[in-house]
Amino acid sequence: MVDTDLVVVGAGGGLAGALRAAEHGLDVVVVEADEHFRRGNNTAMSTAMVPGAGSRFQRAAGIDDSPELFLADVEAKTAGAADRRVARALTTVSASLVEWLADGVGLPIELPVDMDYPGHSARRVHTVPGRHGSSLLRGLADAVAASDRIDLLCPSRAVDVQLRDGAVVTVSDPSGATEVITARAVLLATNGFGADASLVAEHVGEIAGATYHGSEYARGDALRLGTALGAATGCLDAYQGHAALSAAARTLVTWTTVMHGAVVVDADGRRFADETAGYSEFAAWLAARPGARGWVVLDQRIDALSRAFGDYRDVVDSGALRWAGNVADLAGLLGVPTSVLAGELADAAAVARGEQDADRVGRTSVEAPLAAPLAAVEIVPALFHTQGGLRVDEHARVLDADERPLGPVYASGGAAVGMSGHGAAGYLAGNGLLPALGLAHLAADHLAATPRLQEVSP
């Protein structure tokens, strides 16, 4: 039996909660089911884009932003369907969170100012050099390893949580041996249910046929553990999709290509939607096209700009890009009619040159016309993670159906209700990591400010 202040279940974004709690002088045990979590969880697989509205990095870059502007963007993207309390708490904490990642964790946080993300009205998405989650997670995990207040039990899966004078967490190792950890509180940070095909079919059926590209341990454990305690759930139909997983490399092509002017065509060479609407909803749209596949078409300028992303470089290194000297040769490589592909590119180029306000699919912004030589990379739609989960308040406390906190149980990241509303279209870049890191951070702050039982007892 181990006794501690906080048990963090899941070593992804939950590590931010562990580190913050330790900073407050609390003792923490992190339990992690996957011995390869440093590469295998969603935080490690991500592009490491974390929004912070009103940060000092933005001020240094001359960018005017605020939590209110960010919240308005969230409400616009979700058509008002995001959990307002959670969205407000996360947009409010976002700037201090990215600054804490720099100052408290020691991560080399930077603010890319070379591109816009769909739905963000200010350049507010911060990241780390290389723009890859493996660096972000390595920084968090290294800080955890260096802390004398945090113990990491791995591989060790939480299989039961009871609430008795705090939290009683039973964990199991791969041999089946169990151990009980008692704590003042538990933070459920196990991610969502993307790796559980039956839960995906039940709640996010429109993307069930797509490739799952996320943590294999996102098996809905928090959902089961939390609802067994009486937790309410919300927005279980919310998910982050992505339309641009390289078919050959199984790595993210990144939407930066599109935001710099690339277009997406289906297997017949036709564009079918405004690519700047958002990469999450585009996944289901691509899934509905012939063969559920398509191509991102780009040029040398976009290729050069996209190399700031480690994932994109991996796609290039895999040989998945097909280059051609002109549209006719590219159409031949893709097996689509030259007239169709040429027409689509000419339509987008006319928007880029200001000759028309919008193209056939309604896109109003194209950075520059594509210029030969041209390249195409084959893409398939993917499910990255589910977004809904246990209902939580502004302190990440898990709530019951009457909106009352269950007790000393917090949830963060894919385990919690999130800020993306319903479906895929509410996803803004950063809506994954902000609830993962931010709710964990808020949970630690709340626990630290909560008197211990013996302090309030006579």
Ligand X SMILES: Cc1cc2nc3c(=O)[nH]c(=O)nc-3n(C[C@H](O)[C@H](O)[C@H](O)COP(=O)(O)OP(=O)(O)OC[C@H]3O[C@@H](n4cnc5c(N)ncnc54)[C@H](O)[C@@H]3O)c2cc1C
Distances (CA, A) of 329 to 58, 200, 298, 338, 368: 43, 40, 14, 8, 21
Half-sphere exposure of 176 (CA within 13 A, CB side): 0
Report the alpha-carbon distance of residue 245 to residue 243 in Å, rounded. Answer: 6
Contacting ligand X within 162-191 (CB under 6 A) = 189-191
Shortest approach of ligand X to residue 15 CB, angstroms?
A: 8
Nearest distance in Å: CB 431, ligand X: 6
Distance CA 440, CA 191 (A): 12
* 42 counts as binding ligand X under rule CB under 6 A: yes
- Taking the alpha carbons of 309, 311, 314, 316 in that order, is the dihedral positive or negative? negative
Distance CA(368)–CA(301), nearest Å, equals: 9
Pairwise CA distance, residues 98 & 94, whole Å:
6
What is the C-alpha separation between 18 and 224, in angstroms, rounded? 22
Stretch that binds ligand X, among 7-15, 58-66, 260-268, 325-333 (CB under 6 A): 7-15
- Closest to ligand X by CB, 298 vs 415, is 415
**Element at 102 (helix H, strand E):** helix 84-103
Site for ligand X in 266-305 (CB under 6 A): none
Q: How far apart are CA 112 and CA 126, in angstroms?
A: 7
**The binder of ligand X chosen from 27, 34, 347, 378 (CB under 6 A):** 34
239 binds ligand X (CB under 6 A): no
Binds ligand X by CB under 6 A, chosen from 23, 116, 221, 274: 221
Question: Does 11 participate in binding ligand X (rule CB under 6 A)?
Answer: yes
Pick between residue 32 and residue 378 the one whose CB is nearest to ligand X: 32
Window of 33-41, 110-118, 176-184, 339-347 that interacts with ligand X by CB under 6 A: 33-41
Closest distance to ligand X from the beta carbon of 187 (Å): 10
CB 168 within 8 A of CB 6: no
- Look at residues 159, 192, 183, 137 and name the one whose alpha carbon lies nearest to residue 15: 137
Min dist CB 6 to ligand X, Å, is: 14
Q: What angle do CA 408, 412, 413 make, to 5 degrees?
A: 165
Residue 427 beta carbon to ligand X: minimum distance, rounded to whole angstroms: 9
- Decide if residue 217 touches ligand X (CB under 6 A): yes
| Residues in 365-384 at the binding interface with ligand X, rule: CB under 6 A | 384
Which parts of 48-107 interact with ligand X (CB under 6 A)? Answer: 48-49
Rg of the chain on CA atoms, in Å: 22
Q: In angstroms, give the least distance from the CB of 119 to ligand X.
A: 13
Q: State in angstroms the smallest separation of the CB of 63 from ligand X.
A: 19
Give the Å distances, CA to CA, from 279 to 131, 400, 438: 17, 33, 23
Compare residues 215 and 276 and give the one whose CB is closer to ligand X: 215
Of 156, 155, 226, the closest CA to residue 413 belongs to: 226
Residue closer to ligand X (CB basis): 88 or 271 = 88
State yes or no: residue 196 binds ligand X (CB under 6 A).
no
- CA nearest 41: which of 33, 51, 49, 29? 33
**How far apart are CB 18 and ligand X at their closest, in Å?**
11
Number of residues that bind ligand X (CB under 6 A): 44
Question: CB under 6 A: which stretch of 30-38, 64-72, 298-306, 358-366 binds ligand X?
Answer: 30-38
**Token couple for 449:** 């400010």
The nearer residue to ligand X, 194 or 269, going by C-beta atoms, is: 194
Site for ligand X in 387-446 (CB under 6 A): 413-415, 429-434, 436
> Interface residues with ligand X (CB under 6 A)?
9-14, 31-34, 37, 41-43, 45-49, 157-158, 189-191, 213-215, 217-218, 221, 240, 252, 384-385, 413-415, 429-434, 436
